Each structure stands twice: as C-alpha cells, then as structure tokens.
Amino acid sequence: MSKIRVYELAKMLEMSNKDLMEVLEDLGVEAKSHMSSLDVDTAQMVEDSVKAKDKKNSTEEDSSSDRPSIKVSKGSSVKELAEIIDVPASDAVKALINKGMMIPASAQVDDSVLSVLSEVYELDLEWSDDSPEVVEDAPLKTFKKPILRGENLKPRAPIVTVMGHVDHGKTTLLDTIRNTNITAREAGGITQHIGASRVHHEGKDIVFLDTPGHAAFTSMRARGAQCTDIAILVVAADDGVMPQTMEAISHAKAAGVPIIVAVNKMDKPAANPDRVKQQLSDHGLIPEDWGGDTIMVHVSAKSGENIDQLLEMILLVAEMEELKADPTVSPEGVVIEAELDKGKGAVATVLVQQGTLKKGDIILMESSWGKIRAMINASGKQLKSAGPSTAVEILGLSDVPQPGERFIKVDAEKEARDSISAKDQKRREVANQMSPRMTLEELYSKM
C-alpha cells in the first residue's frame, strides 16, 4: 500500500506543515508529526477537503471578477473542454502538466482541472447546473512530486543535495566523496560532469546533485518541483552558523526534507563543534547526543576523516524514508540543468524520478520537447535506459529547458510539437505587446 508523508502532502497542497497538521486534527486523521505517513486514500480525502475549502473561499472572494464565464457540462473530457474554450487540447494538457497534474486529454474534467484551467486561461469555468451529476470519480492525481505511482515499487537511491554557507566546504566535500567513491573504481578516473554523480557505498547507491543547495531548492521550488530526498548541511566547525546556513535550514524545512549536518573542517585547530551544535540547537536542529533527532557527523572534507560515516548516515536516513519508485510506469522526472552545446545542441541533465527512460523516447517539458537521441551517464557512458533515481544527460531536445521543469514521456511526436508550438505562438504574441522595460520574469508571468 502506498504511503505519503504529511510533509509531502503539505507541499503538494502548498500549505505549511503546521496548517496541514491542524486540518488533519479537524478531520480526525491521526498523525504524530509532519514525518508521519498517510495512506493514499486518506491523503486523497484530505486533499479533496482542502480543495473544497479553498474553492469555497475563492468563490466568496472573487465573485465580482469580470472574467468571461463559461459553463461546462459535468462529464466533459479535457479535450471537450479545450474545444469549448478554444485552445488546442495538447495545450490544455500541457498547462495541467505544468501544474503537476498528469492527465490525458481523454480524462474527465474534475473540480481541480476546472480551477487550474480557469486560472491559466483567465476564465470563469463553472459547472452548468443542468448537467447530470457524475457518479464515477475520475482517478486524477494532482501531486506535484511523482510519488509512489505504480504497482511495482522498488527501493531507489536517495537524491542528496549539499547545502551550507559559502566557503564552509560544500565543493570540497562533494569532490572528496566523488574521488574516494567513484574515480577509484572507474577506468581512467575521469568522470564527466553532468550535474549529478552516483556514488557507491557498501553495496548501495547515493545520487548527489552538484547544483548548490540554494539554487536547487529555489529554482526547483519556484516550479513546484522537488527532487531532493536528503539535505546535507555543511557547517564549518571554525566558523559556525552563518546567514546562508540559516537560509539552508529554512529551505530544507520548508521542503520537508530531512537534514543531516556535516560539521566540517574538524582538522582545523580552531574547530569548535560544540559551539556549532549549540547554534544549530537554537535553530531547531538538536543533535542526537543532546536528545534531539538531528544526525550530526564530524568530518573533514579535506582529509576525508569520517566521510564514510557520513555516507553511512545518508543510507540510514534513506532507509528510514523508504524511498521507492516503480521502474515500469511511464517515465517522468525533472530537469536539473541544461545548456546549449555548440556541437551537441540543447543538452539537459534530467533526473528520472520514476519509470524507465529509454533512448528514442519522446519527452515533453514546459519549454522544450525531443526524441532522445542519446543518454549519457556521469561516467560518460551511453545508456539505452535509465531507471528511477538516475541522472542522465539527454541529447535531441528542441530547446534548452530551465532547471526545475518537469518532463513526461508522450506517445507521439505531434503531441509534443503541437504543445510547444502553441506555447511559442503565445510567446510571440506576448513579445509583440511587450513594453521595452518588461523583465523576463514578467514575460513569463504573462504566459
């Protein structure tokens, strides 16, 4: 039976953990903390209840809105609705995907589809009164993070992001981990940089994202994407908690991601780990040996001291999180980084979150699509397929996507191309009306 943690649900519903805990209490759902698990049916029930409340509030608030009002018959499919509002069906499907709703054009419209499309197309979509009640519930999921879809859930490697104040040793830590755990076992010893690396420890894999933690969290979160399972907070023992340390803590907490603290630079004479622990305790991270539940490991990224122990703790937390994914469902995931390469064209490093991505698959993102011409892993090896928790560089994209954009597999090239060209059309229209001082952000907000 699939489980969803309270914090994950909070994230999907764009609520704070605290607010959701209150809702759970009101609904009589038992949950000890934001780390508690709910089964999928309960989560769906909570989601429906929150959505219903939101909807009520918003209709109360903007009853005076002057958006064009359109009546929709219950039982309409997304495709039929798209026809009514005169947009390509693929565009509507795309808009839903961008909101984290993986819904085919043939699926029945429900309340959440109606509210999302109302917002995207600035319309007032309402159910028409005379339409028959729909008995059958459309099996729609609005989860932003693809969690536990499918029947064949298998354990997957944890995705780890390293965060911390500048100069506290993030890059050195990643390098040390990589050098002792990858290069040693690969011929040539040179690993290609693809924005993520997979290390092997005691028979298990851990995937480290190279993106500095803040960027990873902010650009991903701005798009509602979430790809980190565990955050490593690096704090230099000779410097202590600094502004970006606190920022990192709040990012990880907001995302509900467990934090492991690496108290770094322990080789330095000025190292004062107790002071670090005291400061972290003041920010709610209480070390285990002080009766709290935050794992803290004393390390030296420079000398390699205790790095093994840090990796072991990552695997331990990963095990507690019961990270799983189904390799057999349709592949989806998130863009970690992307660039325009002179020789290769648009290249993106994507993280496959579930399903198995294959060479030749057609994938669709927010601003790009493509038939995968080649997939390359961190060691520069060409892959034919990439399962859950695998980061791969992909070639064959129409455009350079942004980090944080989600990708899904689509069946036909036409579907992908139509969706992107509808978007391009819109972009050109917006560009024509653009005032000279409009920022890129404003431009995107109009799309």
Site string for ligand GDP, 266-305 (x = CB under 6 A): -xx-------------------------------xxx---
CB atoms within 10 A of CB 266: 20
How far apart, in whole angstroms, are the C-alpha atoms of residue 348 and residue 218?
A: 19
Interface residue with ligand GDP among 5, 253, 265, 423 (CB under 6 A) is 265
**Sign of the CA dihedral with 6 first, then 15, 161, and 194 last:** positive
For the bound state, the minimum distance from the C-beta of residue 338 to ligand GDP, rounded and expressed in Å, comes to 22
Instruction: Identify which range of 9-17, 64-72, 221-229, 265-273 contacts ligand GDP by CB under 6 A.
Output: 265-273
How far apart, in whole angstroms, are the C-alpha atoms of residue 282 and residue 284?
A: 6
How far apart, in whole angstroms, are the C-alpha atoms of residue 1 and residue 168?
A: 42
For the bound state, the minimum distance from the C-beta of residue 211 to Mg ion, rounded and expressed in Å, comes to 11
* Per CB under 6 A, 264 contacts ligand GDP: yes
- Pick the closer one to Mg ion by CB: 215 or 286: 215
> Tokens in use for 323?
């990270």
**Among ligand GDP, Mg ion, none, residue 145 binds (CB under 5-8 Å by kind):** none
- Pick the closer one to Mg ion by CB: 91 or 210: 210
> Tokens in use for 313?
């703790």
- Pick the closer one to Mg ion by CB: 170 or 298: 170
* Per CB under 5 A, 172 contacts Mg ion: no
* Per CB under 6 A, 178 contacts ligand GDP: no
Q: Is 25 left (phi over 0), alpha (psi -120 to 50) or beta?
A: alpha
Helix (H, G, I), strand (E, B) or coil at 132: coil
| 415 neighbors 90 (Cβ within 8 angstroms) | yes
**Among ligand GDP, Mg ion, none, residue 247 binds (CB under 5-8 Å by kind):** none
Task: Report how many residues bind Mg ion under the rule CB under 5 A.
Answer: 2
For the bound state, the minimum distance from the C-beta of residue 309 to ligand GDP, rounded and expressed in Å, comes to 14
**Among Mg ion, ligand GDP, none, residue 440 binds (CB under 5-8 Å by kind):** none
CA nearest 367: which of 404, 418, 402, 336?
402
Task: Give, in order, the Cα–Cα distances in Å from 419 to each of 114, 338, 366.
Answer: 19, 20, 9
Instruction: Identify which range of 44-52, 82-90, 117-125, 169-177 contacts Mg ion by CB under 5 A.
Output: 169-177
**Among ligand GDP, Mg ion, none, residue 301 binds (CB under 5-8 Å by kind):** ligand GDP
What residues between 143 and 172 interact with ligand GDP by CB under 6 A?
Answer: 164, 166-172
Task: Report how many residues bind ligand GDP under the rule CB under 6 A.
Answer: 15
Instruction: Identify which range of 43-51, 164-172, 198-206, 278-286 contacts Mg ion by CB under 5 A.
Output: 164-172
- Pick the closer one to ligand GDP by CB: 167 or 247: 167
Instruction: Identify which range of 146-154, 259-267, 345-353, 422-430 contacts ligand GDP by CB under 6 A.
Output: 259-267
How far apart, in whole angstroms, are the C-alpha atoms of residue 300 and residue 266?
A: 5
Task: Give, in order, the Cα–Cα distances in Å from 395 to each of 129, 347, 362, 416.
Answer: 49, 5, 11, 16
Segment (H or E) for 364: strand 362-364
**Sign of the CA dihedral with 74 first, then 80, 86, and 92 last:** positive
**Sign of the CA dihedral with 400 first, then 420, 196, and 262 last:** positive
Interface residue with Mg ion among 16, 49, 98, 171 (CB under 5 A) is 171
> What does the binding site for ligand GDP look like in residue numbers (CB under 6 A)?
164, 166-172, 264-265, 267-268, 300-302
Residues of this chain that bind Mg ion (CB under 5 A): 170-171
